Structure 1
Amino acid sequence: MNLSAKLHETSLISAGKPAFYFMDQATTYAELDASVTKFADGLGKLGVKKGDHVALLLGNSPYFIIGLYGALRLGATVIPINPIYTPDEIGYILNNGDVRTVITLDILLPLMEKMDSLLPGVEHVISCDTTEEKGGLDVHSLSIYPKLKSFTSVVASGDAGFQGPELEEDETAIILYTSGTTGKPKGAMLTHKNLYSNAQDVADYLKINENDRVITALPMFHVFCLTVALNAPLMSGGTLVIVPRFSPKEVFRIASEYEITLFAGVPTMYNFLYQYEEGTAEDLKSLRLCISGGASMPVALLNSFEKKFNVQISEGYGLSEASPVTCFNPLDRPRKPGSIGTSIIHVENRVVDELGEEVPVGQVGELVVKGPNVMKGYYKLPEETAAAIKDGWLYTGDLARMDDEGYFYIVDRKKDMVIVGGYNVYPREVEEVLYSHPDVVEAAVIGVPDPNQGETVHCFVVKKNDLLTEAELKAFCSEHLAKYKLPSQIDFLEELPKNTTGKILRRSLRSQILQNH
């Protein structure tokens, strides 16, 4: 079984049921599956073959879902790309990923034209109409016009009776380019088995079913959304309510009007929802579960959110290379705030030392993962693949510990650890203290070079009370942290830099500090 075949199976069972709502318009499972089939055939008629690479340069929309499942049904390999990446970032992925066909928004066609000479491998550009003002763009004047097709015309050219090729479970379905915190991004090759098994296991673990209505507000091009808020609900016969751009006002409206049962977001989203004064517990009363991932959620935020809105947040953990989910707080046992939970079904997590040996309970080491969700490898990077996967275990680069009940706790990224005078300081530990101050909205901690101690702790804080001072916050920290963990400096910012999924970018803060030194 694979994602595309499962969608077809679901469409036969739930033909007239809404698969998703977009801009308050419903599309049934039968309509979605027919569009997917016709788009797959339409791609084939353009000359796209099984194994060819198709890029999705799209935001949250029906185009993404039809493009994804249609390309998979044809046997193509899909490469989702963040549409607000810079031309250099987009160009690198298109070239490195050997992309032949790009599905993109019409408003990005001028960008595709500018990059055209640098993309010799791209043979087709499929344009998706948007409701935004196009500024009088004349597509006939574009030099890429001979390569250009409209999404609707590709669907219209396809046959609803199209039968796709047989797909092997170990064939590459999606290549996800990691955000590239160090050097160039790497393409994690995820197979049909990787994606299907993880979506099914997440659906089983979280008891996602045909009665669930899920807000799809996370970016679809990101693996967290792809598995948890798109594939898992669709394979279970649930209904998505697609949010083109995250907005607290829109999330509260949709949650109330559609009686949403499931919301998945990163901690920053929860912080924005918590700070939104017009949002009420009444708006979220239909929610049976909130899911947090993508980054560690400060315990103070988790407790405050749950108290204000009377909902439970289940924190989990994943990474692109694992399709992505490896852990979740279980629904049938007590949830532990600050924990990423226990290993999901069919997936094994361990905490190991530098030699790959499992460490004692409670001790910090590197989190490693094994299961049917672990990637095939990095595209065209055999050495990096060998460094990441050893004896079938994926080395995550995250420092963690496990308690005596099998619950895991992320301590920090291995590379983000700060060493002060030989002592290990985990940024998350300091951030937890900062978040517990009532006047702190957001916080991030990094290490900066110091001639005497090797590194010192440097904090960045967004405050809600202008009267809060650095001295006051340092004094607060001194009540909760050992002396070597205390901030040497606290900078107050209007906002913290984030990527499109809302994850705070420590590396951006680090580069600012290094430039100033």
Structure 2
Amino acid sequence: MNLSAQLHETAKALPQKTAYFFNDEASTYAELDGAITKFASGLEALGVKKGDHIALLLGNSPYFVVSLYGALRLGATVIPVNPIYTPDEIGYIIKNGDVKTVVALDLLLPLAEKMHHLLPEVENYIICDTPQGKERGLNNSNLSVGDKLHTFTSILASGDLSYQGPELNEDDVAVILYTSGTTGKPKGAMLTHKNLYSNAKDTGDYLKMNEDDRIITTLPMFHVFCLTVALNAPLLSGATILIDPKFSPAEIFRLSKKYEPTVFAGVPTMYNFLYQYEAGDPKDLQSLRLCISGGASMPVSLLENFERKFNVLISEGYGLSEASPVTCFNPLDRPRKAGSIGQSIVHVENKVVNELGEEVPIGQVGELIVSGPNVMKGYYKMPEETQAAIRNGWLYTGDLARKDEEGYFYIVDRKKDLILVGGYNVYPREVEEVLYSHPDIIEVAVLGVPDPEQGEMVKSYVVTKNSELTEEDVLDYCRERLAKYKIPSSVDFLEELPKNTTGKILRRALKQQIIQA
């Protein structure tokens, strides 16, 4: 079984069930499946074949859902791309990923016009209309892209509802996800049909998703967290997704009041914004049975404050692109442990090991490694990097973790973010947890910077809601709660911290600022 085939089965079993709401308009599973079939057929008519690579430069919308599942039904490999990447970033992924067809918003027409001479291997550009594009007068005429240009609407119109599609193998590559490239160029994690289907199925089962659920899908669909947890898992479960083009606290509360969602998935920054949103009425979120947090470690103080204010459980989990992504979640039928990423989900095994790959004793810190049907096939065109990441069937995550006696895992920090102060290990997250517990601090980032005497020193960046808070106030707070070598050497106050499109705070951007300074 694969994602597209399962959606087809769901459409046959629940044809009139609402698959999604978008801009307050509903679409049934039958309508969605029909659009997927016609899009797959239309792609084939363009000359797209099984195994061809298709890039999606799309935001959260039905365009993304239909394009993704339509391409999968055809047997093509999908490469989701953040549409607000720079031309160089987009160009690298398209070229490195051997993309032949690009599906993009009309807002990107000027980019396609500018780049198509540099990307001769791209055979088709499929353009999706948006209200903003129409306002700006963007259209498909008089562009030198020429006969490579098609509209999403025309592809659908040319599609055949009786289209069956080729036979798919579970080990065929379904999606290539390019990692954010914290070291060197981004790497393309190859995820098979089996990887994606098994992880969506196991995640949905673990979180008890069913056809009565309504999931707010506000995380970016091109990101693996949303792709599995807020898109694939709900659709496999026959649930309804509430597609939100762009996260804002006001829109989340509006959607909640109107549609009474049962599940919300977000990164810690989103929960922070919702918690701080003064106009938000806790009653509007009372329909939620579950909130899911991932993408970054959630400060315990934020988790507890949010749960107390909105009276809803937050289940924190863990994943990475190379694992499709979910490996752990806090269970719903056993005690949740604040600060933990929970236990291994079904069919997935997590271990904490030392430098030799040997499992360390309970409570000790080591590298988290993962095994299961969700682990990627490898990095696209990067055999050496694949060999370094997957050893003896285990994926080495690069995250430092520990496990307790009940099998709950705790992420200590990224291996590469470990700070060495005079020979002592300092984990940024430990310092961040203390700073987050300060009542006047909203956001925090901690990192190591070079120091001639100690090797490294701890530097902190904070966003505060109290303009009178001083560096000395913050340092005094830390002195009461941290060992001397863990106390930040300095505190910089910022209006906001750099974040990626999912809302994850980017320590590496702060490090880059230090280097450039």
Q: C-alpha root-mean-square deviation of aligned residues, in Å?
A: 0.6
1:373-431 alpha-carbon deviations (Å, 9 max, x no partner): 00000000000000000000000000000000000000000000100000000000000
Tell me the equivalent position of 2:87: 87
| Deviation of 1:120 (Å) | 1.4
| CA distance, structure 1, for counterparts of residue 137 and residue 510 of structure 2 | 39
Aligned to 1:41: 41
Q: Within 5 A, what are the aligned runs for 1:461-476?
A: 461-476=462-477
The separation in 1 between residues aligned to 2:183 and 2:424, in whole angstroms, is 24
Paired residue type of 1:260: P
TM-score (norm 1): 0.99
Shift of 1:181: 0.7
Specify the code of the residue in structure 2 equivalent to 1:10: T
CA displacement at 1:136 relative to structure 2: 2.2
1:118 counterpart = 2:92: no
Structure 1 segments unaligned to the other structure (5+ residues): none
Q: Which residue of structure 1 aligns with residue 351 of structure 2?
A: 350
The answer to whether the aligner puts 1:173 opposite 2:174 as a matched pair is yes
The aligned counterpart of 1:29 is: 29
Q: What amino acid does structure 1 have at the position aligned with 2:58?
A: L
Give runs of aligned pairs for residues 359-508 of structure 1, distance below 5 A: 359-508=360-509
Following superposition, the deviation at residue 137 of structure 1 comes to 2.7
Greater mean deviation of Cα atoms: 303-312 or 385-394? 303-312
CA distance in 1, matches of 2:354, 2:138: 57
Amino acid at match of 1:204: D
Question: Are the structure 2 counterparts of residues 254 and 19 from structure 1 closer, same or farther at C-alpha, using a change threshold of 3 Å?
Answer: same
Counterpart residue number, 2:338? 337
Within 5 Å, which residues of 2 pair with 1:54-69?
54-69=54-69
Q: Deviations over 1:208-243 (max 9, x none)?
A: 000000000000000000000000000110000100
Matched to 1:489, the amino acid is: S
Q: Residue 397 of structure 2: SS of its match in structure 1?
A: strand
Q: CA deviation at 1:123?
A: 0.3
Q: Which residue of the partner structure matches residue 239 of structure 2?
A: 238
CA distance in 2: counterparts of 1:33 and 1:191, whole angstroms = 21
Q: Which residue of 2 aligns with 1:253?
A: 254
Aligned-partner residue type, residue 36 of structure 1: I
- SS across alignment from 2:132: coil
Deviations 1:32-81 (A, max 9, x none): 00000000000000000000000000000000000000000000000000
Q: 2:96 maps to what in 1?
A: 96
Q: 1:133 Cα shift?
A: 4.3
TM superposition shift of 1:171: 0.5
Distance 2:34 2:76 in 1: 18
* Structure 2 residue 217 is the aligned partner of structure 1 residue 222: no
- 2:257 and 2:355 map into 1 onto residues whose CA distance is 49
2:59/2:245 contact within 8 Å kept = yes
Contact 2:499 2:506 survives alignment (8 Å): yes
1:513 CA displacement: 1.3
For residues 275 and 123 of structure 1, the distance between their equivalents in structure 2, rounded to whole angstroms, comes to 47
Q: 2:3 and 2:16 mapped to 1: Cα distance?
A: 20
Alpha-carbon deviation of 1:138? Answer: 4.3
Asked if structure 1 preserves the Cα contact closer than 8 Å seen for 2:106 and 2:133, the reply is no
> Once the two structures are superposed, what CA deviation does each residue of 1:178-205 show, in whole Å capped at 9, x if it has no partner?
0111110000000000000000000110
- 1:336 aligned partner, one-letter code: K
Q: Distance in 1 between matches of 2:21 and 2:139?
A: 31
1: CA distance, partners of 2:410 / 2:281: 30
Amino acid at match of 2:82: N
Q: Paired residue for 1:323?
A: 324
Confirm whether residue 11 of structure 1 aligns to residue 27 of structure 2: no
Once the two structures are superposed, what CA deviation does each residue of 1:81-109 show, in whole Å capped at 9, x if it has no partner? Answer: 00000000000000000000000001101
CA–CA distance in 2 between the matches of 1:508 and 1:184? 15
Kept in 1: contact 2:109–2:138 (CA 8 A): no
Displacement of 1:317 in angstroms is: 0.1
TM-score, normalisation: structure 2: 0.99
Shift of 1:256: 1.6
Which deviates more, 165-174 or 128-137? 128-137
| Percent of aligned pairs sharing the same letter | 74
**Corresponding residue of 2:292:** 291
Q: Which residue in the other structure is 2:78 paired with?
A: 78
Deviation at 1:172? 0.1
Which secondary structure state, in structure 1, belongs to the residue aligned with residue 368 of structure 2?
strand
Q: Distance in 1 between matches of 2:2 and 2:91?
A: 30
Q: State the shift of 1:358 in Å.
A: 0.1
Specify the code of the residue in structure 2 equivalent to 1:406. Answer: G
Q: CA deviation at 1:131?
A: 1.1
2:101–2:123 contact (8 Å) kept in structure 1: yes
